[in-house]
Amino acid sequence: MFRHLAVLALLVPSALLAQSKQGRGANNPFPGGANPDGSLRPTAPVTRLFTQDAYTEYSILAPGSEQFSIRFITEETRPGATELVNATRGGSEGSGIEVYDPRTGKPVKFTYQPDPNDPETHAIHATLPIPVPEGGIGRVLILKTYKDARTYMMHGDDIVWVRSLSGYRLGVLLPPGFSFISSNVAAQLTTAADGRLKLAFANPSGQSNPVTIHAHKTSAKFPPLDYTDMFFDDIKTLYDLDAPETHAIKVEQTYSDYRRGEKARLDSLAYLRLEDLKVIDLDTAKPFTPAKSGGAMTIKLDVPITDEKQSAHIKITGTLKDPAYKSSNGDLVFDRPLHGLRNTVLLPAGWEVSGCSQSGTIGSYQGRAFIALINLNAENNYRVVIHARKIQ
């Protein structure tokens, strides 16, 4: 399944900024950051079911220009919101801004305004195509170019690109005619259709990710490779476990589909045999009607996808009955192949995690334990076994 999330830069909505400032108060026991002596201060317990919500792609432009372009989609989940704000990092000079509705591909209105409290910081104020509906998500596609001599510099004829990338899913493209000398992050390396070399990577912690890339001129010609960027796909799946003796799992999956046409195939139903299936258009919160077409389940899009600026934003929900989810010798056992980059398993109330066969982040959501897994395996699926014990 080829799904592409148009890339996304750093987004800090004003409501989150306010919460963040409150969280840094003197009475906050988990402030994060560092003490004056360099020792770390504890951060708050993990409560987010998913990380890596944003994909950002940076294209390094001509040597000496100090410029790089960014393409991304920003999201707003507050019902009734009519505007989305995206800030330019202080010291980065923004230009060439374009804003589009990802559903239709049409331009939307925006302003680019300085922050009255910080003249170095500007923000894009984009008008959402419609107010965010209850149960939906507002989106805009933003394209822009940054100029930042602190980030993009030359060492002789070599490129040096250094930037602190705050978590999420990331890609960096070199200019044509350049190859890597080094990169300090573990990443998938591929060649784009136009011959540019590209790094793709994620930071599973979701925290700041300092990246330094060195590249030099080369006479080598790089043919395109068919390695699909494993971090483009924004699919995320929540497995909400009922009591283990029921073998029942509530499933919620969201993703963006960029494939052109008037219909979208529901490929994940090949491995999710869902009862009580519901499919929602997250842009409008209106239901789609699934139907069989050529052996596959499809939905008819209200707005056909005709160009690269468009995508369908889809949520699938239903219930899965899986005998491999069970109770065994007092243990809750979840044993299942999982697909895609991000999967979170939410335990029933009253159960404590005792084991997980793959790397995952442990957290608590509304009093229930969960494990959030980031699959860094390009084969797209892997087996996960989770054990838990009931509170006595």
Give whole-number Cα distances, 306 to 104, 202, 220, in Å. Answer: 9, 29, 35
Banded pLDDT at 294 (limits 50, 70, 90):
confident
Strand, coil or helix: what is 21? helix
Mean pLDDT of the chain: 89
> pLDDT tens-digit profile of 321-350?
999 999 999 999 999 999 999 999 999 999
Q: Which structural domains are found in the chain, ordered by start? A: 14-24+43-217 (2.60.40.1730), 236-390 (2.60.40.1730)
Tally Cβ neighbours within 10 Å of residue 216. Answer: 15
Would you state the pLDDT for residue 121? Answer: 81
244-272: per-residue pLDDT in tens?
999 999 999 999 999 999 999 999 999 99
pLDDT over threshold 50, residue 15: no
**pLDDT surpassing 70 at residue 5:** no
Task: Give the pLDDT confidence score for residue 2 in this predicted structure.
Answer: 34
| CA pair distance 296, 1, nearest whole angstrom | 13
pTM of the model: 0.88
pLDDT, position 206: 65
**pLDDT for position 167:** 61
Q: What is the mean pLDDT of residues 39-65?
A: 90
pLDDT at 336: 97
Q: For residue range 127-164, what is the model confidence (pLDDT) as tens digits?
A: 999 999 999 999 999 999 999 999 999 999 999 999 98
In this structure, of 6-20, 109-123, 146-160, 281-295, the range with the lowest mean pLDDT score is: 6-20
User: Which parts of 128-221 are beta strand (E)?
Assistant: 138-147, 152-155, 158-166, 169-173, 178-183, 188-191, 197-202, 208-217
Question: Which of these ranges, 80-89, 178-187, 217-226, 360-369, has the smallest mean pLDDT?
Answer: 80-89
Model pLDDT, residue 88:
80
Both ends of the chain: CA-CA distance in Å?
44
